[in-house]
Every structure is written in structure tokens, then in C-alpha cells.
Structure 1
């Protein structure tokens, strides 16, 4: 990963940053489609590194296995694959995902001077239209990050190829990051993979009605080398892969430099636990350190 003293952009990279008008659009709509941030060679390197990862290569193993780790193995079969912490386990994947340009784009969108990786998930959606796991129900990421103090966290979705509706691209619910939540956390979408799709559809509709809004779905049509970004409270999901080839991508979760751990209790009064909480080092007062450079490296720091 890049060190703090190396966060520099070339003039050509600066030309790829979002304009003030595009930042304003992100703040209003909750999503942003980037310019071409990756070259062909970088994407080829990323795909080759993920093939090695699927074959079992690891530069380092996780020191502890978190309780809800996404960790697809060949024995799981042709379901949608999810593998967490790939930036930490593979140096080659981490080098591509740690590109400062990604951090600089995220910093402008979030209004922050520092961006750290929070988590990364390698995704492989097989070309099996009827596979139930290929459908990702409506949810938003902040429901997973209730132990984070930040309200500005965001996710970059990085496909390895052209990504559109046919192969089940990520789809945003426009402006949903500005909605108020239903009382008593009734619209929590945590652990969506274990939930009934109809239940999560109903939660989205109820949340929209509570805010007096319509559900406006925007499929992200992402050319190879580009990526989408979305706010941590933007509802999103994806449909089946109807193409003849797999949909391959990384979901790169990003945190601003001010983000810290906070204790958060669920509806039953028990503490909410995120996977990081057993992996990262501890702060001086004993809390999980979401700035642990081994797990949550900084990929941008500085004014833009």
C-alpha cells in the first residue's frame, strides 16, 4: 500500500476527479459514476490476482476468523461468490485497490481529507440466471456499520469489465441516502443474504412511503475501467446475471479519516459486532481501532 508521503496525483489523474457539479450531484442523489480510473493493464493484473486468490493463494491469512466472514470456497459450488478482506490477504489485489486516485475521488465525494479502506469484498456472479444467490436484495451499507461514528462512509463498486443490466449490475435507489429511517429500526437490512427478498422489498417500499418518496431505481451502466461510488445510506441491490459470462467485481468500502468505533446496541440490547472488531488492534482505551493500518490502510490524505 502507498505510504502517507506518497499521496500525489499527476495532472492527468487530476483531470479524472469529479467536478464540483458532480460532487453536488452525489450529495443530492447518493451515487456517482466515475471517469476511467483504471487502465487495461491494471484490470488485467487485478483479474489475474483474483484467479490466484480463488486457486488458494494468500500472502497472509487473517489472524482471527470473524464470525460472519464471507469466504466462498470451491466446495460451495456455482453460487454467487463473496470473499472478504481480499485487499489484506493478497498483496497484488491490495496494490490495485489502494490506488490513491480512488481515495482522492472518495475524499472529494465525502468532503474529507483522509480516506482509509474499511473492507473489500471480491464478488463473482456466475452466468446462472436462476441461481437465487445472484439476486442481491435492497439494503444499505450503514446498517452493517452501526459501530462506525461516520455518516460519510461510501462504497466503490469496481467491475472488471463492462457492466450493465444484462449481467446484473449494481442498481441504486436514487436519493434514498437522504431518507429518514422508520422508527425503532424497523427498516434494518443487515444480513440481507439470509433474509427473504420480499421482506426487504417491503422494507424499501415502507421506507419510501414514510418519507413521501417514490422508489426510483437507477442501474449503473459502468464501462470497463470506470466504477460507481455510493453513499453508505443509499439503498442498492442487483439482479440476476443473464449474460453468458460471469460478472466479476470488487466492492471496496471506504471510510473517512474521522471514523471511529462506537458501541452500538441492537433492538434486544445486545452489542452490535462488526467483523473488524475481532481483527483490528485496540485503541488506548480498549476499543477496536478502525485506523489499524494493517487492516484499514490509508489510501488518501491531503487537500484537493
Structure 2
């Protein structure tokens, strides 16, 4: 195993147990042990402040069609910025921590974990700001060009994250539901859809599976992470605290994941942001293993 994918004995103590992996498989979410130190999170926050002030170590060569790219002119809305792991060396160095990849590998049952996307999030302390509420959705809807059904997301707050500051909230066990058939375009982003519509879709899918909607707010101490399966419904409420909720949503893919064409109901192909950025495979598909945008966090047996 390469030295860059090795853990210390102390780090191995932080990995999920077999019982915790089974819980993730049953419930669709996992709250980790402390994976980041105060020093790492202080450095991450400092790097993101520089990012918000305009610092970039590199720019994207083209602007993808659905790029989340908050800038000061957008005002005090909830901020989302994609590709921060690529544009900022300091942010990327912290997010590429092998321990995070090793935890994800155990949860996903994989021997390789790569970054799929890293989105910097800043939820301002403005309780009435409409953008602060993230309605119910699951990530696989937006990853229809991916072959994997085991992708997952690590939510990394920079501070203690509680209900009052709008922590991420899971719908327990929803990753195991069979989705209610629908003729609509499920790849439409939640920002383009009515919150009431998405609430109704969640309720209908729960009923279709003979389940109730059991919401589990993730109470995350600083340095700990929450992980959720790509089919777990989740969302978040307003920030009622007196300080901003800062976090990175680190989307992860297992090593077997590849691009596949997926068409909308009308016949047009879905295009993920990577598709105009990453290198091409030998058969001219977007390469979701391009190390420039999808670096490997972990490789090897655990």
C-alpha cells in the first residue's frame, strides 16, 4: 500500500466498527468519531475566508452549466461554492485527508474512494432568508450520470452543529425505499423546485414504501463528520444561531464509479458539471477518475 494511503494506529481506532457499518447500511447515515483536529479546522476556515475574499490557486478552464459559485454581489443568501478542493490548494490539502476516505471506504464497502465534488457552504444567521432552508432531496437524483449506487457524502462542519444553526437532517432509512415511479425530470435541482412539491414527494415515497418520515437531526460536535448514502433523503432548516453555519459538503465516489449517459424524459442528455471539465476516457466519455478534479482519498483493504 502506498504511504499516502496508510493510517496510524491511533487513526485506525477512529474507524467505524462492523456494528456501525451495519447501522449505516440499515439507516443510511453515520456520525463519525473525531476525524479533524481544532488546528485543521482553524486552517480550513482561514483558507475559506481567503477563498471568499477572491483567492484562487487555479481557475476552472470553463464555467460548467450548473456551477454553484457564490460571490459578494449575491448578498447575504446561503453561499454554495463548488470545486473548492480544486481551486484552493489549502482547502484541498485538508479535505484530502486519507482517514476520511478510509471511513467512507468501510461504509461503502469499497477499496477505493475518490472525491466527486466538494461544495463550500455558508448559511448566514438570517432566520428569514429563504435560501437557508434546504428542502428534502437525495443526491443520486443529481448524479444520474454515475454508475455507482454506493456514493456517499461527508458533511464537515467547522464548529459544533446543532438544530438551532440548521444542521443537516436525515430521513432515517430512506435510502432503502423504492422510489415512486414518476414521469417528471428527477434531475432538476431542488433550487429550481417548490419546497412544498418536494415535501409532497417525500411523503408520497414514504407512503409508497409503507414507512413514516422519521427525521434525524445530526448533532455534530466539532471535528466529527456525518456521512449519508446517496439515496438518503436529507435537508436542513434555517440558521437561528447568532453566527454563520460553515461547512463543506464532501461528495465521494467509490473506485468503480464511471460515467454513463442518462437522458431526461424529453430525450436530452443529463450533463453533470464534470462533463465539460474532466479528461476523456479511451471511448470518449467523461473520466470521473480524473485526478485533477476527482483525487483519490483512499485505496487499499482495511
**Pairwise same-fold verdict (TM > 0.5):** yes
Q: 2:225 maps to what in 1?
A: 227
Q: Residue 65 of structure 1 corresponds to which residue in structure 2?
A: 63
Deviation of 1:190 (Å) = 3.2
* Worse-superposed segment, 185-194 or 55-64: 185-194
Give RMSD over aligned pairs.
1.1
* Partners of 2:86 and 2:92 within 8 A in 1: yes
Structure 2 residue aligned with 1:218? 216
Deviations 1:16-74 (A, max 9, x none): 00000000000000000000000010000000000000000000000111011000000
Q: How does 1:101-250 map to 2 (within 5 A)?
A: 101-184=99-182, 186=184, 188=186, 190-250=188-248
Q: CA deviation at 1:6?
A: 1.5
- Please, what TM-score do these two structures have when normalized by structure 2? 0.98
Displacement over 6 Å in runs of 4+: none
Aligned counterpart, 1:88: 86
Match of 1:269 among 262, 267, 277: 267
- What TM-score do you get using the length of structure 1 for normalisation? 0.98
Residue segments in structure 1 that go unaligned for 5+ positions in a row: none
Equivalent residue, structure 1, for 2:77? 79
Q: 1:262 to 1:75 in 2, by over 3 A?
A: same
- How far off is 1:157 after superposition? 0.2
Question: How far off is 1:151 after superposition?
Answer: 0.1
Gaps of 5+ in 2: none
Deviation at 1:183, TM superposition (A): 1.1
Q: How many residues align?
A: 302
Deviations 1:229-272 (A, max 9, x none): 00000000000000000000000000000000000111111111
Match of 1:32 in 2: 30
